[in-house]
Chains A and B, each alone.
Chain A
Amino acid sequence: MKRVRIDHAEARSRPIPGGDGREAQPRGPEIGKRGAVDHAEAGRRFLAAPEHAAFHDRRLWDIREKRDREMRGIDEWEALRTLASDIKAHVLDTLDTHLAAFERAATANGVQVHWARDAAEHNRIVGAILEAAGARSVVKSKSMLTEECGFRDAMDARGIAVIETDLGERIQQLDGEDPSHVVMPAVHKLRSDVAAVFARTLGTDPDNHDPAYLAEAQRQANRPLILEAQAGMTGANFLVAETGAVVVCTNEGNADLSARVPPVHIVSAGIEKIVPRTADLGVFVRLLSRSALGSPITQYTSHFRGPRPGGTMHVVLVDNGRTARLAEPGFREALKCIRCGACMNTCPVYRRSGGLSYGATYSGPIGLVLDPSLDRTRYATLPFASTLNGSCSAVCPVRIDLHGQIGRWRRVLAGEGRTSPGKRAAMKAAAALLARPAAYRRAVSAFGAALPHLPRFALYGPHNIWGRGRELPAPPRETFHAWYARTGGRLP
């Protein structure tokens, strides 16, 4: 029989040169004028750390290439994407009935279901469960929702220790830094950065950058904490309405430890995580890991249907702005997102600026779409951190029109007066001039053919920004317009 080698998350990745840097790790963004994240500045700083920037770009491009190979192995890939998108559309159209069905089924399985309107209510509910259980510490697997909710800080205030069990997330926790990617929280760090964090926090040898040594040290440090914890938490990749099951996909098995070693299991899940039937997982599970990491399936796909014997299980269903988004026709389809991170891996801007540069829970293309809903002022500039190249939309396993949504946010933000006054004035002046052909031609000839009004604005900007890293195009002898006027379009 032919032996088939299965690609998994880490195996068969191309070794990426570098990773053993001596330069300092670039950190997150400054808050610029008008209270908004300055992504351009943070991106420039990331690029000014060439070992980090090159490694980050190559690592994620390698994953995009692995994703492409997996995709080409599935003839029905495009049909799967359509099915996934359609299932999610159906779920969003009938979310209320599916959520009620999930609650009934989960309750029948012995799960306690809670509803949280927002981040604060989520943190209150979970804090109360933990306090009722007498838990001084909780071990948890990775969850973007708990990042959204500022969960660790909220528990800190209650004197409850939250211990991350996902390796990348634990690195970020120990470094006091947010995750930079939805699937690979520490992908912006070199192994030398990890060695420095672990030397400081776990007492490892600062000069030993070997990934196996570092991973083992973290495992040895974390296992006793898992055994001691009185409660465990997971997120959810999918909530199955017909069975009440919670499905969690990981590569480290840490969700299983977090869910099943302590007597109390708390699941934090966004209300959009519903799929109607177990059979629908046949669509989503095939897409998820291929899109995320270019591997056919995660190492663990765990279905939690009830509490462990003698224990309790809670599911907290969180809204936190999702219902409001559902009511916005222009942006609701972003609720289809399954948090695979494929749009981040393929995004040329994300790969060259790093996830921290967005200063938000969600970075990359999906971040540009989700973040302004959460805070219009802080994230007002993020939708402009894109070339609108559309690769994000083309990789999206649930066919979210990401670059279309980014463009739509630009319209909303410009319409609300959230762009700079200089840009607004220039855009309106350009639009007015371009509507008047005679005035436009006078402006072109006044500035000379090389510097007509519009290209001058669009390409040069104030202080010749174009020319910092690029040469200017040589001015032609005459414009096309002048050539046509002179020759009547008759070719020599």
Chain B
Amino acid sequence: MRIGLFIPCFIDAFHPEVGVATLALLQGLGHEVVYPRDQTCCGQPMGNAGFDAACAAVERLFVRNFTGFDAIVCPSASCVNHVRNKFDAIADAPEVRAVRAATYELVEFLHDVAGPEALPRVRFAHRVGLHNSCSALRAIGHEPAPETHVPFFSKPRALLARVDGLEIVPYEREDECCGFGGTYAVTEEAISVAMGRDKVERQARAGVDYVVSADTSCLMHQQGCAERIGLRHRFLHIAQVLAGMAA
């Protein structure tokens, strides 16, 4: 498969190792992976603030960058949610529809397209708290929305079952939003930080060594909250664990 690698702006700037791990996983599965060099951002920060209309040129650029791939894979559920479900500053042309339909979040691509058994067995012998972002739960479908009465499944847990020694540790209110919310983190800073602290304190009380998530944006917020109050557990993107690049 010829895959277009979509690296969100904050991963590019703050956590390049997540991009490298994503590339390693996809290459390891035997795919041809291309990183279109003209990519910038999908426009989600402006979209969530109500300024979608200003983003027509951003969306056109995104479509130009990612047209022609068999699949577009991105290690961020919220960015994929934006492209898949909200990307409407430009007209709904066939090439726009094609790019939107071919865009996958990394966990769903690994689970639904590649299959968990295609992943290499790696070792990560730690107590891990799983953080499912709100987009991963309620828009991308990593697990059923926890408020709904549908049979349970879990794509990230199925993938993490490939990791030897990894123990998933439950903690209180796992499904509650951590308070990042994009620009919400600054528009309502006090409430955002209160949510983040509640989250990381519950993780710490459960005795996790690491928190693993498919969304780096939530992790940046949680890590910032944890460090400020002196908590010691660490934060990793799921790609780093699955690729054996968590060290």
- Show the binding face of A for B, using Cβ within 8 Å: 39-40, 43-44, 47, 53, 57, 61, 68, 71-72, 74-75, 77-78, 346, 348-349, 352-353, 383-391, 393-395, 407, 409-415, 419, 423-424, 427-428, 430-435, 437, 440, 444, 449-450, 452, 454-455, 457-461, 465-466, 468-473, 475-476, 478-485, 489, 491
Contact = CB atoms under 8 A, between A and B. Distances in A.
Given A43-B190, A387-B180, A473-B14, A435 B58 contact: yes
A40 B190 contact: yes
Q: 10 closest A-B pairs (Cβ-Cβ)?
A: A387-B181, A470-B224, A410-B50, A414-B50, A469-B193, A435-B57, A389-B134, A389-B177, A480-B19, A394-B147
Contacts of A410: 48-50
A48 to B, nearest CB: 8
A53 B198 CA distance: 12
Contacts of A72: 149
Contacts, number: 240
B208 interface: no
Nearest to A409: B50
Nearest to B243: A491
Contacts of A386: 181, 184
A421 B35 CA distance: 36
Nearest to A451: B13
A434 B195 contact: no
A260 to B, nearest CB: 38
B168 interface: no
Contacts of B17: 476
Nearest to A76: B149
Nearest to A473: B14
Interface stretch (B4-12, B96-104, B123-131): B4-12
B59 to A, nearest CB: 9
Interface residues of B, number: 79
A68 B20 contact: no
A476 B18 CA distance: 12
Name the residue in A77, A450, A473 with the highest tally of chain B Cβ atoms < 10 Å from its Cβ: A473
B195 A473 contact: no
Contacts of A391: 134, 138, 145, 147, 175-177
B222 to A, nearest CB: 9
B54 A428 contact: yes
Contacts of B181: 386-389
17 contacts: A75-B149, A77-B149, A385-B188, A387-B181, A393-B138, A415-B53, A431-B55, A431-B57, A433-B40, A452-B9, A454-B10, A455-B13, A459-B186, A466-B224, A469-B189, A471-B228, A473-B220
Given A43-B190, A47-B191, A473-B15, A388 B134 contact: yes
B145 to A, nearest CB: 4
Given A440-B40, A483-B20, A44 B191 contact: yes
Contact of B16 (A77, A431, A480): A480
A412 to B, nearest CB: 8
A459 B227 CA distance: 17
Nearest to B193: A469
Interface string B162-198: 0000000000010111011111111111111111111
Nearest to A391: B147
Contacts of A483: 16, 19-20
B185 A466 contact: yes
Contacts of A395: 147
A491 B49 CA distance: 37
Contacts of A409: 50
B134 A387 contact: yes
Contacts of B10: 454-455, 458-459
Given A74-B149, A407-B50, 20 more contacts: A39-B188, A71-B149, A384-B184, A384-B187, A389-B177, A391-B175, A411-B50, A415-B50, A424-B51, A431-B55, A433-B40, A437-B37, A437-B61, A458-B10, A468-B189, A469-B225, A470-B221, A470-B227, A476-B14, A480-B11
A294 to B, nearest CB: 12
A489 B180 CA distance: 31
Contact of A434 (B13, B41, B49): B41
Given A431-B54, A452-B9, A470 B14 contact: no
A61 B173 contact: yes
B150 interface: yes
Contacts of A444: 13
Contacts of A458: 10, 45, 182-183, 186
B150 to A, nearest CB: 6
A395 B180 CA distance: 21
Nearest to B219: A473
B184 A387 contact: yes
Interface in B11-52: 11-17, 19-20, 23-24, 27, 33, 35, 37-41, 43, 45-46, 48-52
A475 to B, nearest CB: 8
Contacts of A468: 189, 193
A271 B8 CA distance: 47
B223 interface: yes
Contacts of B179: 348, 387
Contacts of A485: 37
B54 to A, nearest CB: 4
Contacts of B39: 437
Contacts of A40: 187-191
Interface in B194-217: 194-198
Contacts of B33: 489
A484 B149 contact: no
Contacts of A348: 176-177, 179, 195
Nearest to A61: B173
A450 B138 contact: no
A476 B149 contact: no
A474 to B, nearest CB: 8
Given A431-B58, A459-B186, A349 B134 contact: no
A74 B53 CA distance: 43
A470 B134 contact: no
B76 to A, nearest CB: 13
A61 B176 CA distance: 10
A349 B17 CA distance: 32
